[in-house]
Structure 1
Amino acid sequence: MNNLLLTREQAATFLGIDPKSFDKYIRSNPDFKSFMLGKQERFVKTQLIKFIEAHCF
């Protein structure tokens, strides 16, 4: 998966978690930013990696 922009489902798969867990842990955190592309929410892969690195160490 080399996509830079990910949907909610793709982001959850990239992190190896269920989409419901993604909503609970990622979306509910005010430090994590996403953006809208038209009517669709997108997540930047590099931001996902940075978020995980910041919260795992």
Structure 2
Amino acid sequence: MSISMISKDYPYLLTREQASAFLGIDPKSFDKYIRPHEELDRFMVGKHERYTMKSLIHFIEKHSV
């Protein structure tokens, strides 16, 4: 499935909850294992972090074992 097909279900900038749903993990797991990494690109909207699907996919592919 391509990103363009998936992106119809999500906005361009994802909240923490949307990012964790996109990855298929619990938001608490996202906070513990993914969010702390400086290598994860994020966009700040005021004090709130937002993520793109592209940055999440890139991060997961880079850190796959």
Normalised by the size of structure 2, how large is the TM-score? 0.76
> What CA distance in whole angstroms lies between the structure 2 residues aligned with 1:55 and 1:21?
15
Partner of 1:6: 14
Structure 1 gaps of 5+ residues are: none
SS in 2 for 1:56: coil
Greater radius of gyration (CA): 2
The CA deviation at 1:10 is: 0.1
- Report whether the alignment pairs 1:53 with 2:61: yes
Between the aligned residues of both structures, percent identity stands at 58
Q: Which runs of 5+ in 2 are unaligned?
A: 1-8
Higher strand proportion (structure 1 or 2):
1
Aligned residues: 57
RMSD of the TM alignment (CA)?
A: 1.4
User: What is the CA deviation profile of residues 6-56 of structure 1, one whole-angstrom value per residue up to 9, with x for unaligned ones?
Assistant: 000000000000001001111111211212113322011100000011111
